Structure 1
Amino acid sequence: MTKLKAGISGTGFIGPVHVECLRRLNIPVKGICGSSSQRAIDSALRLELEKGYSSFQEMLEDPEINVVHICSPNNVHYEQAKAAMLAGKHIVCEKPLAVNSKESAELIQISRETNRIAAVNFNLRFYPMNHEVRSIVQDEAEFGKIFTITGCYFQDWLLKDTDWSWRLDPKINGSLRTVADIASHWIDLVRFITKKDVESVFADFKTFINNRKKPKNSVAAFSNKLLISDEYTEVPIENEDFASIMLRMKDGVFGQVNVSQMCSGRKNRLFYEINGSKKSVAFDQEKCNEIWIGNRDKPNEILMRDPSLVHQEAREIISYPGGHLEGYSDTMKQHFQKIYRYIENGNFNLPKDFASIEDGHYIIKVNEAIEKSAKEGRWIDIES
């Protein structure tokens, strides 16, 4: 795939990850822009890119750029996605697509009017074993009726009061933090696997650290754990450290998930267990090359990622033989490959086999209902 050329907005943690994954697909990345021209130039040199753009607008004006990857902070996603599509570019946007559903609904309309493809990087769908679980639970003869889905998404990178990220600032991140950052991945994933929409939610939030020490120098995501500094500013915290969320889903499926970035020792543990009338299945992102299959009348099973042992849907996104591990960066490689193949095909009426702008909009609506539920202490329906 060499017809399309990408540009990256965002020089922090995730922008360079996009560059690496695109290069693995032989998709050329021309350049990058950031919060300043100097950061863009420095990143372009470090990543060996042709161009460090002085601004996002300069990148949009480059006729060689066909696809813009939006890896910037949340508060500029909407304006950058809108400007890129109006400039004739396709977009791949990190979640959230926007800070509210009014903005994301407008982006859907612009995507349709401009005939531009817009994807949201819910990459965790693209662990092959999540595709395998999807194949298993969709086979009712094998799995039975889905009863319940339970799980968590736990990290520890904001455990201490000296841990800092722009995600702690509502002006940049939006009013939701842990929910928008990681619960959104969990909810999108179980919706993708089960093909069941969320119909209503009940949520409770807790902020454990009410004041944090913000370093006077900027900090990239996840680099805070290596930071050593005595130069801090005390900052009050307004968004949630922890959320417990109950979900009522289509066809009577019940779900429950806890999310937190203050769980010592949990580096990136997205876990779910799906219980059906005939068997159960579970996935843990920290053991992403296997799934657990629970049986009542015979021994339980561990299924390892192996193209010779899984369904075709999972086999299509496995690049290496069994025993040759694939992980986090491979999810983006597989997701981007689906997106770019779809764009190159040119028939935008075909079903989308990637996380679309509509998926991004839907998760924002769910997040808004979760926030309202936590504030009002009651079940909130998801607006259709």
Structure 2
Amino acid sequence: MSKVKIAVIGCGSIAQHRHLPEYAMNEHVEIVAVCDIVEERVNKVASEYGVIAYTNYEELLADPEIEAVSVCTPNYLHAPISIAALEAGKHVLCEKPMATSSEEAMNMIEAAKKSNKKLMIGHNQRFVASHQKARKLIEDGELGKIYSFRTAFGHGGPEGWSVDGKESWFFKKNEAFIGAMGDLGVHKTDLLRFLLGEEFVEVGAFIETSAKENADVDDTAVCILRTESGIIGTLAASWSYVSKEDNSTVIYGEKAILRLEEDPVHNLILQYKNGEVVKCELGGIQTNEEGGQTTSHVISHFVQSIISDTIPPVPGEEGMKSLQVILAALESKETSKIITIN
């Protein structure tokens, strides 16, 4: 069986630590090219993987040999590059947040339909073992009726992770469009939609820039969310958690409380109403800290969807619904009102 020929556009940290190593480990993939506007960076990465280096993504997309691309650029380029790639007949795996507006997201989905190519968004939280198990428990009614939840995703900020450190595009509104809410918050809106099996219909948010002096995007946000059936809860996204990363979620139901990624050893803890406690060790959540988990499962799912010609597990439509919650949160902050999501 011939290998899927893949290129990666954007050679920053997410490409270097996730996409490229995971493609390289995948037996069904041949990496053929990489692209980045920083010549020195792209040449270094290209020589590391023994592939062609481009500084212009349009030139890369003109190569008929390339079948699929990962879009790992700053947020404002996600939609234009993804659309250009789809129109060039390539399958696309796009990093999150997929776009900077609903309109851009819709255009991406349309482009995928027109070209009959795959569009997948890189929401990896769904594939974490504890989250997979949690969804099954909730679906099976183990918690009974769900009342509420709280989830958080926070760390010290992208300067410790981004290839450009403090000078990173993450802090620039014209390139990032949104800060911690787009970097971390959108992961959690996607996770909650996945776990609860419901859409959010209302959002209220407080969004601030309080921790980062060099940023003109948010670094700390707290949102209140309500689903269609009336489950309410909070979502916190922050670059101001200066010590340990927080990536925890707690779901409160009538029969039990479900604690996910809260305990350093037990990724999933079920606390039943009758006092019984079940603890599971399921292999850690992926983290940027040293010794963190190595695979996000995003790459393997994307490649599998191409090989088997199936719908990717996080198609454009799912990415858009998760993005819309974040967009509504921004609108709530601007208007000081609770926003209804259509």
Q: TM-score, normalised by structure 2?
A: 0.90
Q: Which amino acid aligns with 2:337?
A: R
Residue of structure 1 equivalent to 2:125: 124
- For residue 171 of structure 1, the aligned residue among 174, 198, 217 is 174
Structure 1 SS opposite 2:135 = helix
Aligned 8 A contact 1:37 1:55 in 2: no
Q: Residues 129-155 of structure 1: CA distance to partner in whole angstroms, max 9, x if unpaired? A: 110011011111x22011111121110
Give 1:126 shift: 1.0
Residue of structure 2 equivalent to 1:216: none
Q: Equivalent residues in 2 for 1:211-230 (5 A)?
A: 211-212=213-214
Q: Residues 57-100 of structure 1: CA distance to partner in whole angstroms, max 9, x if unpaired? A: 22112222111000111111111101100000000000121111
Q: Aligned pair in 2 of structure 1 residues 289, 295: CA closer, same or farther (>3 Å)?
A: closer
Aligned 8 A contact 2:121 2:319 in 1: yes
Structure 2 SS opposite 1:359 = helix
Aligned 8 A contact 2:78 2:94 in 1: yes
Q: Aligned pair in 2 of structure 1 residues 165, 201: CA closer, same or farther (>3 Å)?
A: same
Structure 2 residue 278 is the aligned partner of structure 1 residue 301: yes
Give 1:209 shift: 4.4
- Greater mean deviation of Cα atoms: 239-248 or 86-95: 239-248
Q: TM-score, normalised by structure 1?
A: 0.81
- For residue 295 of structure 2, the aligned residue among 322, 330, 342 is 330
Structure 2 residue 281 is the aligned partner of structure 1 residue 279: no
Q: Aligned pair in 2 of structure 1 residues 286, 172: CA closer, same or farther (>3 Å)?
A: farther
Residue of structure 2 equivalent to 1:355: 314
CA distance in 2, matches of 1:116, 1:360: 16
Residue of structure 2 equivalent to 1:196: 198
- For residue 307 of structure 2, the aligned residue among 340, 344, 347 is 344
- Greater mean deviation of Cα atoms: 78-87 or 353-362: 353-362
Residue of structure 1 equivalent to 2:328: 369
Q: Equivalent residues in 2 for 1:1-150 (5 A)?
A: 2-16=2-16, 17-26=18-27, 27-45=29-47, 47-140=48-141, 142-150=142-150
* Unmatched runs of 5 consecutive residues or more in structure 2: 284-290
Structure 1 SS opposite 2:23 = helix
Aligned 8 A contact 2:7 2:69 in 1: yes
Residue of structure 2 equivalent to 1:315: none
CA distance in 1, matches of 2:293, 2:93: 17
Q: Which amino acid aligns with 1:297?
A: N
Aligned 8 A contact 1:282 1:292 in 2: yes
CA distance in 1, matches of 2:317, 2:60: 26
Q: Aligned pair in 2 of structure 1 residues 251, 98: CA closer, same or farther (>3 Å)?
A: same
CA distance in 2, matches of 1:63, 1:180: 33
Aligned 8 A contact 2:10 2:34 in 1: yes
Larger radius of gyration: 1
CA distance in 2, matches of 1:150, 1:66: 40
Give 1:5 shift: 1.2
Structure 1 SS opposite 2:210 = coil
Structure 2 SS opposite 1:262 = coil
Q: Which amino acid aligns with 1:244?
A: V
CA distance in 2, matches of 1:76, 1:144: 43
Q: Which amino acid aligns with 1:336?
A: I
Q: Which runs of 4+ in 1 moved over 4 A?
A: none
* Unmatched runs of 5 consecutive residues or more in structure 1: 213-236, 307-325
CA distance in 2, matches of 1:289, 1:82: 41
Aligned 8 A contact 1:271 1:285 in 2: yes
Aligned 8 A contact 2:151 2:248 in 1: yes
Give 1:210 shift: 6.8
Aligned 8 A contact 1:186 1:270 in 2: no
For this pair of structures, how many residues does the alignment match? Answer: 329
Q: Aligned pair in 2 of structure 1 residues 124, 49: CA closer, same or farther (>3 Å)?
A: farther
Aligned 8 A contact 2:33 2:54 in 1: yes
CA distance in 2, matches of 1:288, 1:340: 31
Q: Aligned pair in 2 of structure 1 residues 340, 89: CA closer, same or farther (>3 Å)?
A: same
Structure 1 SS opposite 2:229 = helix
